[in-house]
Amino acid sequence: MAADDEKFYEDFEVGDSFVTAARTITETDIVMHAMHSGDWQPHHTDEEFAKTQPFKRRIAHGNCTFVISTGLIFRSQGRPNPNIMAYGYNKIRYPAPVFAGDTIKVEVKIIDKQVHPKHPDHGLLTQSETTTNQRGETVAYVEHVLYAKRRSSSS
Amino acid sequence: MAADDEKFYEDFEVGDSFVTAARTITETDIVMHAMHSGDWQPHHTDEEFAKTQPFKRRIAHGNCTFVISTGLIFRSQGRPNPNIMAYGYNKIRYPAPVFAGDTIKVEVKIIDKQVHPKHPDHGLLTQSETTTNQRGETVAYVEHVLYAKRRSSSS
Amino acid sequence: MAADDEKFYEDFEVGDSFVTAARTITETDIVMHAMHSGDWQPHHTDEEFAKTQPFKRRIAHGNCTFVISTGLIFRSQGRPNPNIMAYGYNKIRYPAPVFAGDTIKVEVKIIDKQVHPKHPDHGLLTQSETTTNQRGETVAYVEHVLYAKRRSSSS
Amino acid sequence: MAADDEKFYEDFEVGDSFVTAARTITETDIVMHAMHSGDWQPHHTDEEFAKTQPFKRRIAHGNCTFVISTGLIFRSQGRPNPNIMAYGYNKIRYPAPVFAGDTIKVEVKIIDKQVHPKHPDHGLLTQSETTTNQRGETVAYVEHVLYAKRRSSSS
Amino acid sequence: MAADDEKFYEDFEVGDSFVTAARTITETDIVMHAMHSGDWQPHHTDEEFAKTQPFKRRIAHGNCTFVISTGLIFRSQGRPNPNIMAYGYNKIRYPAPVFAGDTIKVEVKIIDKQVHPKHPDHGLLTQSETTTNQRGETVAYVEHVLYAKRRSSSS
Amino acid sequence: MAADDEKFYEDFEVGDSFVTAARTITETDIVMHAMHSGDWQPHHTDEEFAKTQPFKRRIAHGNCTFVISTGLIFRSQGRPNPNIMAYGYNKIRYPAPVFAGDTIKVEVKIIDKQVHPKHPDHGLLTQSETTTNQRGETVAYVEHVLYAKRRSSSS
């Protein structure tokens, strides 16, 4: 079987999946996300405002959960595969909040594959990246599209 | 006219747009994004690897550009509008690289509006968020969906 | 009326004021301020020492409160006004402590204006910047002097 | 002679001075100051804007220089002196810019001492804190007031 | 063969080795190491002092190289192995400097194994961790001791 | 007696010791150490995993304690002594865990001195650096070797 970093389009099947390691989201992560992005929405950074909102306390930025999820996926994948390039995201949703102290992990699953209509030596793989917390609730759902070289094209 | 933080669905029109302030992306931002996310892809963090790639040097993570763009938009919007909630993203693409030293800004434009099919007291606004560098090249293109209360629903 | 970023000396009156958004000061902010400044005074960074002091626990550096206050003011002001330059501070006091978890905001008020004795095409505006916590206690009081172009001078 | 951390009001004389160690201000310090404070004024964070200004490139926030100067002073003073408390600042000026790569140090000098009019068991010491760069130019000038216990009061 | 995270003492042989991914050490890493540790030795943080020293410019703290090397090793090892615990380090040397911009990687090699004299159900594995820069020079040499469960002991 | 920053090999005696200031290790320090090093071992960063381990909650990386200890020692030593260079470490052990909220300090003691066999104008000083928490438990034990110029060699 092909090593992870030598896989081609053909080596991925719809339904293939893996689960990443987990990471606890801390108040530090929330503050650092605000600092790094410059997004100080009061839902994430103003405790008095947050008390007046449905969740009653500060929550992580959805994008904080998202970028930390990409880091968890990176950890699981080891060395980069030169046959695969990021193409973009087609959907991002944050269906439930993440609080400081929650621990998240990501299930990655191939949900679609298509030969590229204009570049037939490549295909588009769509993988769902579903981030859940320690209670099994989905806190982020992402559809990530990868541009993968077809094996035949490499000969 | 309604103040920014009291706008309802009806106060947004397709074509409405504004441009944010600009921010220079530094090596510090790239390193901090890798640290914060845990995504150490060598394209962003290994200069020797990067020299062998098309851009010949380290580039910012696409998601680094994305989250900094959200911070620039936050800066332009002032106080939060209780009538508007983030719904998600429907598309994210990174058509060109960002290098340390590049300066980016974001044009935000309403590109679609629809009454929500199941919740007719709300509508979905789609705004494009187009991040460009100092040479006018698009480095990120995002379609951001907002869930907006309809004015009539507030009576 | 002049837009905020086109105001001249004449457009400011003693008594003009506004209040910024709020931000919760976290343990992360205190630790990061110590790291960034290099000021590890035990009142801020040594819990065992702090227990022996009047406040019984670590407090934020006064200057941490001060610089975060300047960021809150920045957020309220939008684009920079080319007619106004920072001249300096004439007074800074920290009358009460800030603890991790406190939420602060700033009231900015023009308290004095004077034509500059040597540069009559400019004036000096003094604004007080009063930072309060969620209980309404003043935790920082700052007198900030701005050097403002006079309108007549621009013709 | 009294050890540094046991000094009283009487142990300080007008003219006493010392010079701190030096620290190079880096682009990282400027970016981190913007992140920590939330002050993204374009003079410090937007290279394209900065090119249109007199200094032609980004400069450190004055307050970045100020807080790093307090850290350099902390390093020189060793253990805290329980007889001395910070009272406030009476003057802060930033007469020249600091660029990434500049190296600063601080000269601290007692410039005034007065028995406190209402609390005669304490006195007010005013020390100037003059930060200079590697070319000897003054980049920050601060008057810092300390509240010092009088020795007689301790008997 | 045993998966990496199920290996026992017996599964490691003297001479086993692997090489990690690489990471470019930036000025940001050096500044952040000084901030995090509180170690502001002028060799790392004062450019004017550094110019007077043999290397003529700031160098990374040896311990900055060391802790980043441990992160590179972590990346290569995936999920933690419950049979292995860190025991300590027996030797750390920094034979050559690391400058901002250098790219380092680590070769990890088992150099010794011994059944533990007092706990015969465990053994001590010593691995060398040799960090090299992009010119192949050794910049850190570490002997790391691991406490590994013996397979027989698990029955 | 020689000032600290002019001491030679001869000025150090076995048994000389001092104790540093103390610093509280926070969750921020643990998260920042993981970010900076890239070492996300779940013992330090995954609360759910940590609950299944003997200490029942996240603990600081041993190396986090180690590098912060070096910063505490730096603070006690003031200006660098040109006669002393770091030679390396001969032993590092972490006999007990550090939790967020613990306050550590370091006792530094000269435990060995030897004229260097090949460079008789220098000697090797070995100092133990014993880090303890607020309950007096040793959390890190380090043997640090210094390369010190002999006084006679300077004439």
Q: What is the pLDDT of residues F8-34, one digit of tens each?
A: 999 999 999 999 999 999 999 999 999
Give the model's pLDDT for residue B146.
96
What average pLDDT does the structure give for chain B?
Answer: 94
What average pLDDT does the structure give for chain A?
Answer: 94
Give the model's pLDDT for residue D77.
85
> Domain spans of chain D?
4-154
Give the model's pLDDT for residue C119.
95
Cβ A66 vs Cβ A93: under 8 Å: no
Interface contact D74, partner E, CB < 8 A: no
CB contact under 8 A, B35 and F40: no
| Residues of B whose CB is below 8 A from F38 | 35, 38, 40
Q: Compute how many other C-beta atoms are within 10 angstroms of the C-beta atom of residue F97.
A: 19
Residue with tokens 């190396």: F63
Give pLDDT tens digits for E88-117.
Answer: 999 999 999 999 999 999 999 999 999 999
Give the model's pLDDT for residue B155.
45
Give mean pLDDT, residues C75-81: 83
Q: pTM (2 decimals)?
A: 0.96
Long-range contacts: F45-53, Cβ < 8 Å, 24+? F45/A23, F45/A24, F46/A21, F46/A22, F46/A23, F46/A24, F46/A103, F47/A24, F47/A101, F47/A103, F47/A134, F48/A22, F48/A24, F48/A103, F48/A134, F49/A22
pLDDT above 90 for D46: yes
| Residues of E whose CB is below 8 A from A79 | 21
Give mean pLDDT, residues A56-80: 94
Give pLDDT tens digits for A100-117.
Answer: 999 999 999 999 999 999
Give the model's pLDDT for residue E145.
98
Give mean pLDDT, residues F126-133: 98
- Phi, psi (rounded to 5 degrees) for B81: -100, 115
SS3 at position A126: strand
| Residues of D whose CB is below 8 A from E49 | 22
| Residue B104 CB contacts under 8 Å (≥ 6 apart), including other chains | B22, B23, B24, B25, B65, B68, B69, B72, B98, B131, B132, B133, B134, B139
Chain B CA closest to residue A74: B39
Chain D CA closest to residue C146: D93
In which band, very low, low, confident or very high, does the pLDDT at B153 lie, cut at 50, 70 and 90?
low
Give mean pLDDT, residues F55-59: 98
In which band, very low, low, confident or very high, does the pLDDT at D5 lie, cut at 50, 70 and 90?
confident
- Report percent pLDDT > 90 for chain C: 89
Higher pLDDT, C106 or A82: C106
Chain E CA closest to residue D29: E31
pLDDT above 60 for C1: no
CB contact under 8 A, A94 and B75: no
Give pLDDT tens digits for C9-43.
Answer: 999 999 999 999 999 999 999 999 999 999 999 99
Interface contact D101, partner B, CB < 8 A: no
Residue with tokens 């290569």: E76
DSSP state of E113: E
Residue E34 vs residues D79, E43, F142: alpha-carbon distances, Å: 20, 11, 20
Name the residue among A23, A108, A98 with its Cα closest to residue F35.
Answer: A23
CB nearest B24 (choices: D28, D32, D47) = D47
Give mean pLDDT, residues A114-126: 96
ipTM: 0.94
pLDDT above 60 for E155: no
Give pLDDT tens digits for B103-129.
Answer: 999 999 999 999 999 999 999 999 999
In which band, very low, low, confident or very high, does the pLDDT at C6 lie, cut at 50, 70 and 90?
confident
pLDDT above 60 for F89: yes
Give the model's pLDDT for residue F45.
98
In which band, very low, low, confident or very high, does the pLDDT at A1 lie, cut at 50, 70 and 90?
very low
pLDDT above 90 for B21: yes
Interface contact E40, partner C, CB < 8 A: yes
Cβ D126 vs Cβ D110: under 8 Å: yes
Q: Is B104 left (phi over 0), alpha (psi -120 to 50) or beta?
A: beta
- Report percent pLDDT > 90 for chain F: 89
| Residues of B whose CB is below 8 A from A67 | 33, 36-37, 39, 63, 67
Interface contact C67, partner D, CB < 8 A: yes
Fold category of A14-154 in CATH: Thiol Ester Dehydrase; Chain A (3.10.129)
Kindly tell me the burial class for residue E136, based on how many C-beta atoms sit within 10 Å of its own C-beta (0-12, 13-18, 19 or more). exposed
Interface contact A75, partner E, CB < 8 A: yes
Q: Compute how many other C-beta atoms are within 10 angstroms of the C-beta atom of residue E86.
A: 18
How many whole angstroms separate alpha carbon C57 and alpha carbon C35?
19
CB contact under 8 A, E23 and B46: yes
CB nearest C48 (choices: F22, F26, F27) = F22
Give pLDDT tens digits for D60-114.
Answer: 999 999 999 999 999 998 678 889 999 999 999 999 999 999 999 999 999 999 9
Interface contact E67, partner F, CB < 8 A: yes
To the nearest whole Å, the CA of E13 is away from the closest chain F CA by 23
Give mean pLDDT, residues E38-59: 97
To the nearest whole Å, the CA of D93 is away from the closest chain C CA by 5
Give the model's pLDDT for residue D150.
96
Give the model's pLDDT for residue C2.
54
In which band, very low, low, confident or very high, does the pLDDT at B77 lie, cut at 50, 70 and 90?
confident
Give mean pLDDT, residues E60-73: 98
* CATH homologous superfamily, domain C16-154: Hotdog Thioesterase (3.10.129.10)
Kindly tell me the burial class for residue F53, based on how many C-beta atoms sit within 10 Å of its own C-beta (0-12, 13-18, 19 or more). middle
CB contact under 8 A, A78 and E78: yes
CB nearest F63 (choices: E29, E70, E91) = E70
CB contact under 8 A, A35 and D40: no
Q: Class of F13-154 per CATH?
A: alpha beta
Interface contact D134, partner E, CB < 8 A: yes
Interface contact E75, partner A, CB < 8 A: yes
CB contact under 8 A, A72 and B29: no
Give the model's pLDDT for residue C69.
98
In which band, very low, low, confident or very high, does the pLDDT at F2 lie, cut at 50, 70 and 90?
low
Chain A CA closest to residue D36: A35
CB nearest F71 (choices: E38, E66, E70) = E38
What average pLDDT does the structure give for chain E?
Answer: 94
Q: CATH code for B4-154?
A: 3.10.129.10
What average pLDDT does the structure give for chain D?
Answer: 94
To the nearest whole Å, the CA of D143 is away from the closest chain C CA by 9
Chain D CA closest to residue E26: D28
Give mean pLDDT, residues C139-154: 90
In which band, very low, low, confident or very high, does the pLDDT at A153 lie, cut at 50, 70 and 90?
low
CB nearest E21 (choices: A21, A76, A79) = A79
Q: Compute how many other C-beta atoms are within 10 angstroms of the C-beta atom of residue D57.
A: 12
Give pLDDT tens digits for D110-139.
Answer: 999 999 999 999 999 999 999 999 999 999
Give the model's pLDDT for residue F3.
63
pLDDT above 70 for C121: yes
Chain E CA closest to residue B30: E28
Give the model's pLDDT for residue C3.
63
In which band, very low, low, confident or very high, does the pLDDT at A155 lie, cut at 50, 70 and 90?
very low
Give mean pLDDT, residues F92-116: 98
pLDDT above 50 for F155: no
What number of C-beta contacts closer than 8 Å exist between A and E?
Answer: 8
Interface contact D101, partner E, CB < 8 A: yes
Positions of E strands within A6-119: 17-19, 23-24, 84-93, 103-115
CB contact under 8 A, B22 and D46: yes
Question: Lowest-confidence range among A94-103, B123-132, D3-12?
Answer: D3-12
| Residues of E whose CB is below 8 A from C35 | 35-36, 38
Interface contact D40, partner A, CB < 8 A: yes
Element housing C57 (H / E): none
Interface contact C23, partner A, CB < 8 A: yes
Higher pLDDT, B76 or F102: F102
Higher pLDDT, C23 or F154: C23
Chain D CA closest to residue F19: D79
